[in-house]
Amino acid sequence: MTLVVPEGQQQSMTPQRTYQVRTYGCQMNVHDSERMAGLLEDSGLVKAEGELADVVVFNTCAVRENADNKLYGNLGMLASVKEANPGMQIAVGGCLAQKDRDTILKRAPWVDVVFGTHNVGALPTLLERAKHNQDAQLEILESLEVFPSTLPTKRDSVYSGWVSISVGCNNTCTFCIVPSLRGKERDRRPGDILAEIQALVDDGAIEVTLLGQNVNSYGVEFGDRQAFSKLLRACGEIPGLERVRFTSPHPAAFTDDVIEAMAETPNVMPQLHMPLQSGSDKVLKDMRRSYRSTKFLGILEKVRERIPQAAISTDIIVGFPGETEEDFQATLDVVEKSRFATAFTFQYSKRPGTPAAELPDQLPKAVVQERYERLTALQDRISAEENAKQIGQQVELLVTAESGKKAAETHRLSGRSQDSRLVHFTVPEGAEQPRPGDLVTVTVTEAAAFHLVADPGPDTVYQLRRSRAGDAWDRAQAESCGVPSGAAASGAAAGPVSLGMPSLPIR
């Protein structure tokens, strides 16, 4: 029997080209990758599911010293793969592409496209041009042409989303290369931001995170220094938006009106990420951070006075050039006083092109490593002590699609509390299973440094609130031929859990 395919259906049976976006670095890169995925899907590509992708895009970071090695190592591994698959294309974008430019093509001539942070929207055109011309395409713009949020988006989550309120940075921190790669700060108009948030909510999202290199300076471009606090309050007026977060503020620009807006707007979550970087005033001066430890601790005191349940996280750099043992002890002292829920700790990384790279007294690796270990040990202890205070408390969780590494054996699901703590929980026998995007109220029964546990017991609570976000999850699963609530219903792990923000997915 011969199968005859109608002429009009022949094209639909041609396999679609697939893509994969590999993301490195900060939450801004994660958001940019959603734009890249949206652009590629608008161009007719589909996300690769495990198999080799026809188009592989690297969205790179240039903040850490090993970023270069990681990129070129990955590109090297793909060289032979591409040689065996002539139709394959490789593109490199992001901060490292903006910095290295033609160096990438010199070191990895099998790359097809190199594009920068200011022209994400050109990716499909550059890929098509590279294919047509049989020649690598390099396009790096020095300033933003189109605000990224106007581009198509393939969101990583149906129940939460990122919303950029600004791009670029006007600060001059001596260790940071971001301003030279992302450019000067440009602010979006409040109406555009609120319209995007409304669109996300209409699509089923109940949580948004507002993004900016320095959210506190939002509005300076159009002359309103209280624009950010007004934006937070405006988010509180959006029906169906249950959780609002933001990152990252800068201590030098953090003002009382923002604290008041956080305290008085019910859907702004009791969570604050406040980068310390160092507890030494001398080091802060050398970093050009324009605040001192007393001001930093004063901000935390004001936040906790108005929002007692707030969980505060931070960033800290160890081993900045010229840091003495006395300077490092000052950092330990501030960390002890601050009682951070969690901290993202980094060993100083010398980045060519930054003022700090030219400073004298660059510290030996062994000294930096030893201090780093002392700092992380201190913060791990504090995190465990702060989490232990949660035992016996009832917390509301937004159920996530990811579960813990041990979920297959523990049958626990995972969720984020209002203060963003990670909680692994067990659904009581006979109780209804939640979907990702639903909300559950549970009683915390155990605590560790990096997570909480909520297991059923005689004095514990389990309450499920099905949400529009859970409905959106079901719809997304149905549209992708998945099984609604499958992971949740089985209690199996849907993937590795993310212990910090943001997640860095490979699409």
* pLDDT averaged over 10-residue windows placed end to end, the chain, 507 residues: 46 74 82 86 88 89 75 90 92 88 91 88 90 88 63 74 88 84 85 94 95 91 93 97 95 96 98 97 97 97 98 97 98 98 93 89 96 98 98 97 80 96 96 97 97 96 97 84 46 36 37
Domain with CATH 3.40.50.12160 in the chain: 14-139
Evaluate whether 120 touches 151 at the Cβ level (below 8 Å).
Answer: yes
* Confidence at residue 65, expressed as pLDDT on a 0 to 100 scale: 66
Architecture per CATH, domain 150-388, reads as Alpha-Beta Horseshoe (3.80)
Class for domain 14-139, per CATH? alpha beta
Binding-site residues for [4Fe-4S] cluster = 26, 61, 95, 169, 173, 176
53 secondary structure, DSSP code? P
* Confidence at residue 493, expressed as pLDDT on a 0 to 100 scale: 38
* Confidence at residue 402, expressed as pLDDT on a 0 to 100 scale: 84
Q: Please enumerate, as own/partner, the contacts of 177-182 that have beta carbons within 8 Å and a separation of 24 or more.
A: 177/62, 177/63, 177/95, 177/99, 177/351, 177/353, 177/354, 178/63, 178/95, 178/213, 180/99, 180/353, 181/62, 181/95, 181/98, 181/99, 181/116, 181/117, 182/28, 182/95, 182/117, 182/213
Domain with CATH 3.80.30.20 in the chain: 150-388
* Confidence at residue 13, expressed as pLDDT on a 0 to 100 scale: 54
Sheet holding 160-164, edge to edge: 160-164, 207-211, 243-247
Class for domain 394-490, per CATH? mainly beta
* Confidence at residue 52, expressed as pLDDT on a 0 to 100 scale: 84
Residue 121 falls in which region: left (phi positive, over 0), alpha (psi -120 to 50) or beta: alpha
Cα–Cα dist 177/100, whole Å: 12
Bridging pattern class, strands 46-47 and 160-164: unpaired
Binding-site residues = 26, 61, 95, 169, 173, 176
**In terms of pTM, does the model score above 0.85?**
no
Separation of CA 71 from chain center: 19
* Confidence at residue 144, expressed as pLDDT on a 0 to 100 scale: 63
Burial of 447 per CB tally in 10 Å (0-12, 13-18, 19+): buried
* Confidence at residue 507, expressed as pLDDT on a 0 to 100 scale: 35
149 secondary structure, DSSP code? G
H helices, E strands: number in the chain: 16, 21
Domain with CATH 2.40.50 in the chain: 394-490
Bridging pattern class, strands 46-47 and 18-23: parallel
* Confidence at residue 457, expressed as pLDDT on a 0 to 100 scale: 94
Cα–Cα dist 95/349, whole Å: 16
